[in-house]
Amino acid sequence: MQVLGIDIGGSGIKGAVVDVTTGELISERLRIPTPQPATPEAVAATVAEICDQLHWHGLVGCGFPAAIQHGIARTAANVDDSWLGANVQKIFCDATHLPCYVGNDADVAGLAEMQFGAGKELDGLVFMVTIGTGLGTALFNNGELVANTELGHLFDSKGREWEHRASDAARKRDELDWKYWGKRFNKYLVTLEQLFWPDAFILGGGASKKFDKFADAIDVAATVTPAESLNQAGIIGAAILASQSHQSLDMTLLPG
């Protein structure tokens, strides 16, 4: 089955057609800069533009950097405030005239890693943590996604939001070297560990490409591995989400 996967980020909107049985990209990978301001109308027009440029007329999956409950954005930490309460799924369906499914960006990246990447052999409780502009989390219990965990917004002991301290944006803002930032990020993993006792962490997002630069600072009981599909996890996972959601929808339409 082929699905167009779209990864919506703060600086770029990326898309490619994905074979969801193999996890491979089967079209070129397009990237269009995220319009500024990134209002629902402007972002929806870019999503439609990606469908047009790829001559796509099938199922579309999108990863979006907010908690997405039944298609609706419930948070807007790193996106324009006008998204709060917006039905992202409906907005994209209307703009593209195609069936679209939307999920949280970290959740969909986790789906890709669990199926085709670093998580494919992992059972038990697995956390995917995406380290980028924001700090995204996705929780899997024996391969099953527990959606919208939003644990980048946990507070540290001094009442500071972890996303503002341990994201890649925070590393750049505070001009931290990898070792120093790594120690800080490790404290975040320890916080998650003491609350959830996961078996494994998979690290995704921009900073995970530099894992070798901070691996020595990581000291938790769970195994810690960088994501395998790196740049593509958001696209592949968005496609997986759409194929899964569409199939379960079809099941409910079956007679009897």
Rule CB under 6 A: which residues touch ligand BGC? 65-67, 75, 77-78, 104-106, 130, 132, 134, 136, 150, 152, 163
CB of 256 to ligand BGC, least distance (A): 38
- Taking the CA atoms of residue 9, residue 143, residue 84 and residue 232 in that order, the dihedral angle to the nearest 10 degrees is 10
Is 77 or 215 the residue whose CB approaches ligand BGC more closely?
A: 77
- Cα(70)–Cα(98) distance, integer angstroms: 17
Look at strands 12-19 and 30-33 and give their pairing: antiparallel
Q: Residue with the closest Cβ to ligand BGC?
A: 134
How far does Cα 27 stand from its chain's mean position?
Answer: 21
Q: Report the relative pairing of strands 100-104 and 72-73 from DSSP bridges.
A: unpaired
User: Least separation, in Å, of the C-beta of 131 and ligand BGC?
Assistant: 9
The end-to-end CA distance of the chain, in Å, is 26
For ligand BGC, the closer of residues 56 and 130 by Cβ is: 130
- Of residues 67 and 189, the one with the C-beta less far from ligand BGC: 67
Alpha helices in the chain (DSSP H): 40-53, 88-96, 105-116, 163-166, 168-173, 178-196, 211-214, 233-253
8 burial class (0-12, 13-18, 19+ CB within 10 angstroms)? buried
Distance of closest approach, residue 38 Cβ to ligand BGC, in angstroms: 13
**C-beta atoms surrounding 41 within 10 Å:** 11
Q: How far is the CB of 74 from ligand BGC (least distance, A)?
A: 9
117/206 with CB nearer ligand BGC = 206
Q: In the complex, what is the shortest distance from the CB of residue 109 to ligand BGC, in angstroms, rounded to a whole number? A: 9
Among residues 150 and 228, whose Cβ is nearest to ligand BGC? Answer: 150
